[in-house]
Chains A and B, each alone.
Chain A
Amino acid sequence: MTETLAIAALLAMLAVVAVAIARMRNLFGVVVLSGAYSFLMATVLTAFDAADVAMTEAAVGAGISTVLLLGALHLAGSLEAKPASRPWAPLVLAGFTGMLVVYGTYGLPAFSDPQSPIHRHVAPRYLEEGLKETGVPNIVTAVLASYRGYDTLGETTVVFTAGIGVIALLRRRRKGGGAKP
């Protein structure tokens, strides 16, 4: 009960922060608020006992990306220009899509329902045999690095590719000469 209340309060705060981010014109404030959003999200994940994901969210969402956004702000200036017009169509479209997504969730199994298909496929075997087979008590690590080793290899390659892409785009510009930055 307390946990449900805490999660509801956290989610309400997330909504408030999201609206504030959307309405704010001062981009420095937006960056700080998005850091706060990440910390709130990390707290929600901790309440869901997903400590691994919470740690990642706090480190990447609130730490690294805040610094990167501040770096971008340094280049772009810190005040968002006022929009020329206030079109309604995008808001209607976004609201409609949001309602569709919410409608779609009614087709999903209830949250953390042990009888849902995803929990009856390979998960029981991982949970029962994981410790015996890998000797690793943290089942998240066992699944990530061993049972799903191929996926994690792909994931690491994605990170690598993203890094290479950024390097290719932003690599040290030539001084003068009008070359492309």
Chain B
Amino acid sequence: MKSDIILRVVAKILIPFALMFALYVQFHGDFGPGGGFQAGVIVAAAVVFYGVIFGLAAARRAVPEPLVESMVAAGVLVYAGVGVAGLLLGGNYLDYFVLDHDPVHGQHRGIFWVEVGVAITVSGVMLKIFYLFAGRGRGFEEDDGP
């Protein structure tokens, strides 16, 4: 689909907004609908969109495979790390009240990092699955989208 100028222009216009919306969903999830899972999927969808229009190789250049693979694990580690931080600060595992002097702020902080972890793992897994599916049955270097 690389040759279709309308798709290319529309994609270039839409992708920044999609990423922006993902950030909004992520960090406004405390107040409005949304959260880590939704934001992670939207980030992945934006990159998938890029890959479909500009080709798999371009998407791999923009978001390299090693980064995606480390995201798969990093998110779970961030989440579990919040639990360990609670332990180190004298609470129970995944106890957010001890993360700050003010318990409510501690809750905020815990929820924030937990959602960050969810978003990282979800977008990593979605992207990795897309890369694997789209890269199958064609040479690795070919760069047209599915």
Interface positions of A (Cβ within 8 A of B)? 51-52, 54-56, 59-60, 63-64, 67-68, 70-72, 74-75, 132-138, 140-142, 144-146, 149-150, 152-153, 156-157, 159-160, 162-164, 166-167, 170-172
Interface positions of B (Cβ within 8 A of A)? 25, 29-38, 41-42, 44-45, 48, 52, 69, 72-73, 75-76, 79-80, 83, 94, 96, 103-105, 107-108, 110-111, 114-115, 117-118, 121-122, 124-126, 128-130, 132-137, 140, 146
Known contacts A67-B48, A68-B129, A167-B132; is A146 also within 8 Å of B111 by CB?
yes
Sample of 4 further A-B pairs with CB below 8 A, known A70-B146, A74-B146, A133-B107: A63-B41, A63-B48, A74-B137, A134-B111
| Cα separation A149 to B118 with both chains bound (whole Å) | 11
> A71 touches which one: B34, B114, B140, B146 (CB < 8 A)?
B146
> B33 touches which one: A64, A67, A138 (CB < 8 A)?
A138
Is there contact, CB below 8 Å, between A140 and B35? Answer: yes
Is there contact, CB below 8 Å, between A160 and B75? Answer: yes
> B35 touches which one: A75, A141, A153, A159 (CB < 8 A)?
A141
Known contacts A71-B146, A75-B136; is A146 also within 8 Å of B96 by CB?
yes
Is there contact, CB below 8 Å, between B41 and A156? Answer: no
Known contacts A68-B130, A71-B133; is A138 also within 8 Å of B140 by CB?
no
**Shortest CB distance B19–A (Å):** 13
* Inter-chain contacts of A142 with B (CB < 8 A): 111
* Inter-chain contacts of A159 with B (CB < 8 A): 121-122, 125
Question: SS class of chain A's interface: helix, strand, loop or mixed?
Answer: helix
| Cα separation A157 to B75 with both chains bound (whole Å) | 9
Is there contact, CB below 8 Å, between A55 and B38? Answer: yes
Known contacts A71-B133, A133-B107, A134-B111; is A59 also within 8 Å of B125 by CB?
no
What are 6 inter-chain pairs, A to B, with CB distance below 8 A? A56-B37, A63-B41, A75-B136, A145-B110, A149-B96, A156-B118
Known contacts A136-B30, A150-B94; is A166 also within 8 Å of B129 by CB?
yes
- Find the A residue at minimum CB distance from B138: A74
* Inter-chain contacts of B136 with A (CB < 8 A): 71, 75, 170
Is there contact, CB below 8 Å, between B114 and A145? Answer: yes
Is there contact, CB below 8 Å, between A64 and B45? Answer: yes
Is there contact, CB below 8 Å, between B38 and A153? Answer: no
- Find the A residue at minimum CB distance from B33: A51
- Find the B residue at minimum CB distance from A137: B31
| Cα separation A14 to B122 with both chains bound (whole Å) | 28
> B107 touches which one: A140, A146, A160 (CB < 8 A)?
A146
> A141 touches which one: B29, B69, B105 (CB < 8 A)?
B29
Is there contact, CB below 8 Å, between A138 and B29? Answer: yes
- Find the B residue at minimum CB distance from A62: B45
